[in-house]
Amino acid sequence: MQSTLNPQGPHARIVANISWVMFSGATVIFLLVMALALYAIYRRPDKRRTPSPTVLIAAGGVALPIVSLSALLGYGLYAMAALRQPAAESAHIEIVGNRWWWDVRYRDTDGTLIATANEIRIPAGKSVTLRLSSKDVIHSFWVPNLAGKMDLIPGRTNHIVLQADRPGVFRGQCAEFCGAQHARMAFHVIAEPQPAYDAWLAHQRTAAQQPRDALALRGRTAFAAHCLACHTVRGIGTAHVPGPDLTHIASRTALGAGTLDNNQENLLAFIAHSQSIKPGSGMPSFAHLEQDTLQAIAAYLGELR
Q: Rule CB under 6 A: is residue 298 a binding residue for ligand CUA?
A: no
Stretch that binds ligand CUA, among 20-28, 46-54, 177-185, 194-202 (CB under 6 A): 177-185
Cβ 192 vs Cβ 120: under 8 Å: no
Whichever of 219 and 258 has its CB closer to ligand CUA, that residue is 258
Q: Rule CB under 6 A: is residue 177 a binding residue for ligand CUA?
A: yes
CB atoms within 10 A of CB 53: 9
Whichever of 178 and 191 has its CB closer to ligand CUA, that residue is 178
- What stretches of 110-237 adopt beta strand conformation (E)? 113-117, 119-123, 128-134, 139-142, 149-152, 158-162, 168-174, 186-192
Beta bridge partners of 172: 187
| CB 227, min distance to ligand CUA, A | 23
Q: Rule CB under 6 A: is residue 185 a binding residue for ligand CUA?
A: yes
CB atoms within 10 A of CB 21: 15
Task: Tell me which residues in 124-143 interact with ligand CUA (CB under 6 A).
Answer: 139
Question: Measured between alpha carbons, how far is 291 from 199 in angstroms, rounded to an integer?
Answer: 36
Q: Rule CB under 6 A: is residue 182 a binding residue for ligand CUA?
A: yes
Q: Rule CB under 6 A: is residue 104 a binding residue for ligand CUA?
A: no
Q: Rule CB under 6 A: is residue 178 a binding residue for ligand CUA?
A: yes
Cβ 224 vs Cβ 237: under 8 Å: yes
Q: Rule CB under 6 A: is residue 176 a binding residue for ligand CUA?
A: yes
Compute how many residues bind ligand CUA; rule: CB under 6 A. Answer: 9
Beta-carbon contacts of 199 under 8 Å, excluding residues fewer than 6 positions away, are: none
Q: Under the rule (CB under 6 A), what is the footprint of ligand CUA?
A: 97, 100, 139, 174, 176-178, 182, 185
